[in-house]
Structure 1
């Protein structure tokens, strides 16, 4: 009772909500790059919030079902199809034994999420199956491997499918280019002029971007501090290295760093950024902690009320 991998695609990784409580020993959290899409996929199937899913980056993946189940697709539109019939994301679908589920190149967005009823069933490492390739931890083998041809993704068979979809108002607009950012205490090491440049500039996503961090290209920002004592790195930290090109640190980030930081993008902002492709343009918008918390509570309340 599983999916068999026919084509592994560009990058397909098993994820849950992350490996927490181990950053003191240098182990990062991992987890879904688009947390909101991940949570909605589990909600559609009445799964536990932390049920294991597949994060599919850029598509080109094909899976063959070896048992009946229900699946949910959220996140980007990767031109998914079931036995050649086009599928719309942010909905559930019945899958029968022998069906082939395929993903092509992105129509919009970059990362899609595939959930099965009850979640995929893999053994956790340090309490989580979150795949972090850089640290060689998690995933199907426990060694941080991405999916390969002929891999088997086990799940519990399920026959009582329910057709569901996410309310339109809850589906994020991945074309949004404004990324919300909460200022950090080190923003004072940048002059008023440099801060104005930062928030008024367009930045393009670099080819050199991954789950560890998104490197941006645009107006170089220069700070007064030459460096700082290394400290813990929070999710979404926007580092300004010596070349002045911002780096937004995301799910697979290192646990400590020594570059000055302008602030942190929110979870929602990080999810929007994670759906951008190299060459896409973004801008940063400053918000307060209260505004960030309000947005987070609104999203979680909407999801829980729907459940």
Structure 2
């Protein structure tokens, strides 16, 4: 171990340990990484192809009507005008790719995060172990996630999805745990008094009452996923992030503003959708 400049003790070879661990995973789990890559590519590209089958104008009208029904006519009008503007600017294909990346990332985050949050709510030891891991995931700079993602999954949409999942999952886990723990203890005692099992208590009392808090966590996950779009474009993830990233590297203010505006419209729509669905 080399002694760092001005340090009293030799420098820990942490970088070497991490690289050896990475080599170990690449050697013995390459088959698993290939399966994950094929699965994510199949689902994401299939979703994009499905959306592309619907004419842009028809899909915009469907989304606007859905926004009207879920929230109100104001959001429906905003969806109609906002998505119409994106289509007019010529970024509709990139928008579909971005939506697919976000939806796949959020769904996977929910599939993994909600059960972990439920597990944390039932076991204090599990909560004490997982909470520091979530802190690490949220405080680590988002760019750092791209390095192992590229090493294990090469370039393209898959490393972008994986990095987005890691970056955006913590709110879903935290809010699921918090929502279940905040359920009135008297209601839990009443369920226990009627002889409910742990799964019955969770399914009929705790999770239904915690739904609003869980949805708030999912809403945060969606917003964090959208914030990763531009960063994920650096490793080949398609979508509106590519438009913004290309504009930054080429110092093109106009296209950069258009891409950023499209992302803002998309973020506002998804945010209001999830809030409206939560109220429904």
TM-score normalized with structure 1 length: 0.23
Which one has a bigger Cα radius of gyration?
A: 2
User: Which of the two has greater helix per residue?
Assistant: 2
User: Which of the two has greater strand per residue?
Assistant: 1
TM-score normalized with structure 2 length: 0.24
